[in-house]
């Protein structure tokens, strides 16, 4: 199978992709989720009610955005952290 590489600009970066922009925009992958996907997540989410996020503002030299250390309760109460 022959693949032609098409460079195109994304912002200021040059990307080399093995498909054209049109092919990428219209790509529809085969879905692989299990038949009980919706039921599994629906029942799982009911077991663990949502809790409030804990937000701690972080000091930063960047003054154009506010940065927060965020913690939420995940599955089984395990903390999920992010910025």
Question: For residue range 2-13, what is the model confidence (pLDDT) as tens digits?
Answer: 555 555 555 545
Dump pLDDT digits (tens) for 54-63.
Answer: 999 999 998 8
Task: Say if residue 50's pLDDT is above 90.
Answer: no
Question: Using CA of residue 9, residue 11, residue 14, residue 18, what is the dihedral sign?
Answer: negative
* pTM over 0.85, yes/no: no
Residues 6 or more apart whose CB falls under 8 angstroms from that of 27 comprise 19
Indicate if the pLDDT at residue 46 is higher than 90: no
Average pLDDT, rounded, for the chain:
82
Dihedral of the CA atoms 58, 61, 62, 67 (nearest 10)?
Answer: 0
Between the alpha carbon of residue 10 and those of residues 4, 15, 34, the distances in Å are: 18, 7, 35
pLDDT value at residue 44: 84
């Amino acid at each position: 199978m022959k693949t032609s590489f098409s460079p195109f600009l994304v912002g200021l970066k040059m990307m080399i992709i093995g498909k054209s922009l049109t092919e990428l925009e219209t790509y529809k992958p085969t879905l692989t989720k299990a038949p009980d996907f919706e039921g599994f997540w629906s029942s799982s989410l009911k077991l663990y009610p949502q809790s409030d996020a804990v937000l701690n503002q972080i000091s930063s030299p960047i003054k154009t955005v506010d940065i927060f250390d965020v913690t939420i309760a995940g599955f089984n109460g395990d903390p999920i952290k992010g910025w």
